[in-house]
Amino acid sequence: MGASGAVLAIVIVLALIWVVRSAVLWTREFYADLAAVTDPLPLLPDTAPGTGRLYAAGVPGAFATRIIVFGRGLAADPAGFRLTRQSSERAEALVTYVRQNTAGFAAQRGLIVFSGGWAGAAEGFGRPPPPYREGSLMLAQAMAADIGGSNLAGYADAYAEIESDSTLENVLRIEEEGYFDGASFTARDPLGLVAHQEHLPRINYLVRKAFRLSGDATVNIAAAGPENYGGGLPESVLLPITRAAFFGVRGHSSLRGRHRMLVAWDHRLRRLP
């Protein structure tokens, strides 16, 4: 066999290795997503009788000290930017949760990320100044609330992630920026997710995919009231579309690529008469 034949053989072997490796990885992702579709999403939190305490489904008494609060839009007017009702209700839900679990947060200091820049895909305006993005305004609202004679800083380290413009970016940026590096989320020590009930199933799907969590490793903290968010398609439509579009996909670049495709189609549909 000449030198060119040897090179060709090496190339063929390397190509076969790549094909086999890709097939193995795709198969793993396929079955992981299949489990996410067939297994029920974690139940919304309930209230333990007589205590008013939220707990993770299947593990009574467990609660989250590491929590993500998801923004849900800004409102713009001549005076500037402010939180939508939905974003404000989510900040209040976090404050209520900490008030209900002050003893737990006193025993284990919390870590809370208020995530949201601006809903670019849904609301159609550019990025506001940093102090007026969703994460910044939700953090300021939560810090201004009284919690047992103190404020949120007495119970948790709180941060604002303000560069994301979609639910997917909320999740990916929090994972990429390492807010929860070293954490191991389980049913007894879950990751808390704050949003409205309608939004939580899609958030759970994306968090489980990005953080590679099982279904019992998150706990939902539902904001009060109906969401009634007017910034795009309803969640009942977005969830199956998201699951179909992201089926078998894990890498952040691939997830972002699929998301760009969805946004492009959304913009096309909005232009239809």
Task: Give the span between the Cα atoms of 269 and 273, in whole angstroms.
Answer: 9
Are 168 and 188 spatial neighbours (Cβ–Cβ below 8 Å)? no
For the segment 241-260, the average pLDDT, to the nearest whole number, is 85
The Cα–Cα gap between 255 and 195 comes to: 22
More confident residue, 24 or 231: 231
Query: Where are the domains positioned within the chain?
Result: 42-229
DSSP 3-state of 254: helix
Confidence of residue 52 (pLDDT cuts 50, 70, 90): very low
pLDDT at 252: 87
* pTM of the complete model: 0.77
User: What pLDDT digit, counting tens, does each position of 219-250 carry?
Assistant: 999 999 888 776 667 888 889 988 988 888 87
C-alpha–C-alpha distance, residues 273 and 268, integer Å? 11
Type of residue found at 238: L
> pLDDT tens digits, residue range 206-218?
999 999 998 889 9
Question: According to CATH, what is the number of the domain 42-229?
Answer: 3.40.50
How high is the pLDDT of residue 119? 75
Provide, for the chain, the percentages of residues in helix, strand and coil under a 3-state DSSP scheme, each rounded to the nearest 5. 50, 15, 35
How far is it, in rounded angstroms, from Cα 181 to Cα 158?
Answer: 15
Supply the pLDDT for residue 9.
54
Residue 18 is predicted with a pLDDT of 46
Amino acid at 247: F
